Homo-oligomer: A and B are copies of this chain.
Amino acid sequence: MGGVEAGEDTKDSKTEPKGNRGISFLDFIMRIFAIVGTLGSAIAMGKTNDTLPSFTEFIKFKAEYKDLPTFTFFVVANGIVSAYLAVSLVLSILHIVMSGARITRVVLIFFDTVMMAFLTSGASAAAAIVYLAHKGNERANWIAICQQYNSFCDRASGSLVGSFIGVLVFVLLIILSALALSRN
């Protein structure tokens, strides 16, 4: 199968080398962006903590991302996705060199789609909890903890941004790969 693919590559890269090479180069650049976004999100949320001034010396109220399982999931998801993106750069470079590749592009679309679902899942779950922390919910008697843990909430909210940028980049990456496949 590899032999057949290599044969196709040579043929295709002769007929349409420039268009797909540009797409592959854009793919590479956008992956770098997504790495920065997701890794930044993981680190920002991972370092999120806030110590509340307490009246007694012995009891310290400290808020950490580990207190909320959803935030732990968010950090893990962003970490895994940024690691995947770093590895995927290899295939991205391969596509710049061999711009007519088909099978590896399908493989990349598959992993990109799965990782996008994973990242979206982590980001949205964290967003739901951040929203709750800000607004609270009267009917469920859940109080808005952001009034107490202000800096904790600000960091947690901010760390969502990189993650959602990552999701947006993944949508673009999948379209670019599909476009490159359709031109081969």
Cβ-closest chain B residue relative to A175 = B110
Contact indicator A67/B129 (Cβ below 8 Å): no
A114 within 8 A of B: yes
For residues 111 through 163 of chain A, which have their beta carbon under 8 Å from a beta carbon of chain B?
113-114, 116-117, 120-129, 131-133, 135, 137, 139-143, 145
- Least Cβ–Cβ distance between A147 and chain B, in angstroms: 12
Using CB atoms, name the residue of chain B closest to A140: B145
Secondary structure of the A contact surface, majority rule: helix
Whether the Cβ atoms of B140 and A182 lie closer than 8 Å is no
Is A31 interfacial (CB-CB < 8 Å)? no
Q: How far is the CA of A145 from the CA of B113 in the complex (A)?
A: 35
Interfacial chain B residues near A70, Cβ < 8 Å? 128, 131-132
- Which of B69, B133, B178 interacts with A131 by CB under 8 Å? B69
Task: Return 28 A-B CB contacts under 8 Å, by A number.
Answer: A67-B137, A67-B139, A67-B140, A68-B137, A68-B140, A70-B131, A105-B178, A105-B182, A109-B178, A110-B175, A113-B113, A114-B171, A117-B120, A117-B167, A121-B124, A124-B124, A124-B125, A125-B125, A126-B128, A128-B128, A129-B132, A140-B145, A141-B143, A141-B145, A177-B178, A178-B178, A178-B181, A181-B181
Q: Considering the complex of A and B, which 3 residue pairs feature the smallest CB-CB distances, nearest first?
A: A125-B128, A67-B139, A121-B124
